[in-house]
Amino acid sequence: SLNSITPATSGSLALGIFCAGARGPQGRFDGFASAVGCKGAAADDDEALGDCDLIVEATTEVMDVKRAVFARLDAVAREDAILASNTSGLSITQMGRSTGRPERVLGLHFFNPASVMRLVEVIAGEDTSPEATQAAVDLVTRIGKTPVRVAECPGFLVNRVIVRALTEAYRRAAETGAD
């Protein structure tokens, strides 16, 4: 279970990565699995995900696609599995409400490259249970990353800060005539 994972035993976590895209699922999974130190299999085969404790969705940043994926994952995942999205800013609540288990849906935003970047945003949607959120925070800590709990809001935390910083930099550059 998620609560028994430690850096030394993280290989016991049944981790599923559901991803699709131009680069294909295997390349994305290899980097992610390496970053989190877990064993598992990238899956676009629904049956392969049935025994996972945690499934992280990593599809294109289009809400209709994500909702369809979460509805599909809900149908094949164990009842106690946590479903997570690696989204950088879309609504976790909307994704969760496309399932029958919105209390077990959350965001796990790993920054690129995941093998190097330590920060992971743990995003609870409006319906995410405190227990699921804490399990995710504990997992992120146990795999040697730094979890940051984030309330669902546009851009979450890091993207909101980056946008404001860049806006200020561009404003200042325009004021001073810098290139």
Residues with a known catalytic role: 109
Q: Are strands 54-58 and 40-42 parallel, antiparallel or unpaired?
A: unpaired
Residue 119, phi-psi category: left (phi > 0), alpha (psi -120 to 50), beta (remainder): beta
DSSP β-bridge partners for residue 105: 83
Q: Among residues 97, 88, 78, 22, which one has the least CA distance to residue 57?
A: 88
Helices marked H in the chain: 25-36, 63-76, 92-96, 130-142, 158-176
Residue in the block written with tokens 């795999």 = 143
